[in-house]
Amino acid sequence: MHHSYNEVLATFTDPPAHYRPMLFWIWNGELNREQVEAQVADMAQKGCGGFFIHPMGENFRLKDFVKGISPGYLSDGYFEAVRWAVEAAVQHGLYAWLYDEGGWPSGTAQGKVLEGHPEHRAQVLSCRHLEVSAGEQLPADPDTVAWFAVFEGKSPQLLDGSDGAVVPEDCQEVLAFVVRRIEGRTNLLSPATVRRFLDVTHERYAQAVGEYFG
């Protein structure tokens, strides 16, 4: 689209919001409506184009930051404050951007993803070396995904461990590959875990201020 010199000059002189600086607006401490609305008005008065709400959750690196957030991250009170901010942004013609996590790295929702759902914990595959005797039956273990018998001078042999593997002749040792879940860490490679993360973060934002999405 062709613009005249005067149109370009007018845009530089008084640029619309999407050309203006956007601020990372860190939320910590006590939130109240008067404070939230006053800070949005101040950003507009200073010429900002909008802000990213960047909540520092009440459990996030409290040794590094002054204090956590109240109301608690992802609580009903928190989303009420988000709505105050978004409505104030609309009033002042600013953009309001939403950050998907209460700190970093993303994917835990400050523990909300795992709350009541231990199946979404991260997993690690480890290898155990077992000293065994020929004919010995290895105990069935739901966390062991594979048994390998190791021999001298030939390739390892995958054992049938569905009902407890039996150690073959001339076996020097058995390698057991075990899956363990890690306490407090989310399994970001799991579609079900990611779906739950979206449910407790993005979907809640959609309920609170979804009519302003665009």
Largest CA distance in the chain: 90
Quote the percentage of the chain above a pLDDT of 70.
Answer: 97
Q: What is the dihedral of CA 11, 12, 14, 19, to 10 degrees?
A: 80
Task: Return the minimum-mean-pLDDT range out of 9-23, 31-45, 66-80.
Answer: 9-23
Answer yes or no: is pLDDT of 13 > 60: yes
Task: Return the minimum-mean-pLDDT range out of 79-83, 130-134, 160-164, 195-199.
Answer: 160-164
Answer yes or no: is pLDDT of 199 > 70: yes
- Is residue 49 very low, low, confident or very high in pLDDT (cuts 50, 70, 90)? very high
Would you state the pLDDT for residue 162? 54
Which tokens in the block code for residue 94? Answer: 């600013």
Which tokens in the block code for residue 210? Answer: 């979804």
Per 3-state DSSP, the chain is made up of helix, strand and coil in percentages (nearest 5) of 30, 25, 40
Task: Return the minimum-mean-pLDDT range out of 31-40, 61-70, 97-106, 108-117.
Answer: 61-70
Which tokens in the block code for residue 59? Answer: 């459990």
Answer yes or no: is pLDDT of 210 > 60: yes
Would you state the pLDDT for residue 163? 55
Residue that is written with structure tokens 């039956």 in the block: 137
